[in-house]
Amino acid sequence: MYRFTPLLLATAVTANAGDIDKPAALSALQESNSVLIDVRTEQEHAEGALPGAKRIETAELSERIGSVAPDKDAPIVLYCRSGRRSSAAQDLLQELGYSRVINAGAYDDLKTVVQYP
């Protein structure tokens, strides 16, 4: 389970599809059935990643998501380098019928607020 800095959790933002919503992402990661997906390249992932994240580049997502997240109602949290690829991945997963897809934005921003036990 992840722990987070309280200030970020207290900041609520209304998000539209594709928008970065870190508070919603951090809240979703508290759920035991959440799936964390890193849509960055292999090289970016090798430079650092959040523990437990599954790396699936956006181009491979439609082919591989079923094996990583078979429950279309489970929270799926996406991140990338800047938030742009995770936004595209969010749109794709929503088109595939996933109901709780959240764009968490940039890895560099997340690694500063996600604390590990």
Nearest to 34 by CA among 68, 75, 70, 2: 75
Active site includes 10?
Answer: no
Of 80, 88, 93, 114, catalytic: 80
DSSP 64-94: HHHHH---TTS-EEEEESSSHHHHHHHHHHH
**Adjacent-strand bridge partners of 115:** 3
Residues designated catalytic: 80
